[in-house]
A = this chain, B = another copy of it.
Amino acid sequence: MSRRPRRGHGRPTLDDVAQAAGVTRITVSRFFHSPDKLAPETAARVRAAVDEVGYVPNAQAGQLASGRSRVVAALVPNLGYSIFAETIQGLSEGLMDSGYELMLMPTNYSLEREERQLRALMAWSPSALVLTGRRHSAAAEQLLNGLREQGTPVVEIWDRPDAPNEPGAPARIGFDHREIGMRMACHLMELGHRHLGYVDNPVAEDYRARERRAGFAAAAAQAGARLDEVQAPPGDSFDSGRWALQQLLARQPAPSAVAFANDLLAAGAWVDLQAVGSSLSSSPTSGPALLGFGDFPISRQVRPMLSTVHTPNAEIGRSAARSLLAALQSGGPPEGQALACELVARGSTPRHS
């Protein structure tokens, strides 16, 4: 019916709608972006014309003309690991119906990979950016600074906001992993433990896990407690945690309380401990206290229940979405937010001695 130009999608354009409505292109454009500037009856004609021709806007053309992209990009280490999946779920919920679309790029815990993704991203002129963590390659930092100067809101999630909202400081949404590590150690020491163990996770590039461990070690040292550390091997987390605990318990003397980089590691070790305890004697276990991190659902399911640190997985994503949308609207920089973690003391860390 209608002319089919040599190029393009062949989809109806603003001009097609305009023709059908007896107005010009720009009026139709206004119908979408500032409908209140149209005379009501004009708007009605345009609406009818839009339906009639089946008009769908062309995002690329609009973005090229306006210089704004309606893309929010998120770079996360991994999705299979459920905490980031929950964060992304929160982020996409927060972005829903905002007119922005979420572009997702996994970095596999690699700063180099993150930098490459960031470069690829530049081509899209994203409206806003979500990065995981505060550490990036030098080149990535440069790209980010460029974006920030140009007014693109950037938030870093899953890491601590810098102390007092310093102006110009990167906006971060999350918590201080080092501090959480310290709190974990303090919890165990408050229960009377003087010889602690720590099982770190096997992902070498996960510096946040390293920080928790470092905080844990610092608090232990400060209190004069003894500390044994071990890195869990890759593979099934449960098995890995079990193996790591055995390593610690084999030492003489063995720690009386052990903290883990995450609940999966801890749960594996914990159920093993219970099984051994109950087969050797029917009395309640007198083995080490165990403390996890992440408050995975499993932790409430083992008996006794696993003590852990509750992290605001989905809330980090929702908060990031709020912060970015606010910044996008106001034109100002995005705000960071310190989100609380809660140390949930349950049955696996009873009072000691």
Contact partners of A58 in chain B: CB under 8 A: 64, 123, 125
Q: How far is the CB of A4 from chain B (nearest CB, A)?
A: 13
Residue from B103, B125, B236, B302 within 8 A of A300 (CB atoms): B236
CB pair B60 A64 closer than 8 Å: yes
Contact partners of A268 in chain B: CB under 8 A: 301
Known: A102-B104, A123-B57. A79 touches B85 (CB 8 A): yes
A window 310-350: CB within 8 A of B? 314
Q: So how many copies of this chain end up in the complex? A: 2
CB pair A123 B238 closer than 8 Å: no
Separation of A103 and B71 alpha carbons in the complex (Å):
9
A237 contacts chain B at the CB level, 8 A cutoff: yes
Known: A60-B64, A67-B8. A104 touches B106 (CB 8 A): no
CB pair B82 A101 closer than 8 Å: no
CB pair B106 A103 closer than 8 Å: no
Residue from B67, B86, B301 within 8 A of A267 (CB atoms): B301
Known: A64-B64, A238-B301. A79 touches B88 (CB 8 A): yes
A-B contact pairs, 14 of them (CB 8 A): A58-B125, A60-B124, A61-B64, A79-B89, A80-B86, A85-B85, A92-B105, A101-B105, A101-B120, A102-B103, A237-B297, A238-B300, A267-B301, A275-B303
A residues near B (Cβ < 8 Å) are 7-10, 56-64, 67, 69, 78-80, 82, 85-86, 88-89, 92-93, 96, 101-106, 119-120, 122-125, 150, 236-238, 264, 267-268, 271, 275, 278, 297-298, 300-303, 314
